[in-house]
Amino acid sequence: MTTSKQTHNDLSITLRVLARLLQYPDADNRAHLQEMRAALHGARAIGRQRLAELDALIDSQLAQSPIDAEADYVQLFDCGRATSLHLFEHVHGDSRDRGPAMIDLAKTYEAAGLFLAEGELPDYLPVVLEYASTQPPVQARALLSEVAHILNAIFNALEKRESCYASVLGALLEMAGETARAVAITPDEPLDMAWAEPAAFDGCSTQGQAKPGDPQPVRIVRRTNPAQGAST
Domain range list for the chain? 4-186+197-210
In this predicted structure, what is the pLDDT of residue 184? 59
* Most distant CA pair in the chain, distance: 53
- Closest of 122, 119, 92, 97 to residue 110, by C-alpha: 122
% of the chain with per-residue pLDDT over 70: 74
pLDDT in tens, 54-79: 999 999 999 999 999 999 999 999 88
| Residues 156-174 as b or e (16 or more Cβ within 10 Å = b) | bbbbeeebbbbbbbbbbbb
CA atoms in the 13 A half-sphere facing the CB of 5 = 1
Q: What is the pLDDT of residue 204?
A: 37
Average pLDDT over residues 176-204: 51
Q: Rounded to whole angstroms, how far apart are CA atoms 191 and 59?
A: 8
Decide if pLDDT at 160 tops 70.
yes
Of the CATH numbers 2.60.40, 1.10.30, 1.10.3480, 1.10.287, which one belongs to the domain with range 4-186+197-210? 1.10.3480
pTM over 0.85: no
Region 79-94: what's the mean pLDDT?
A: 84
The residue count for the chain? 232
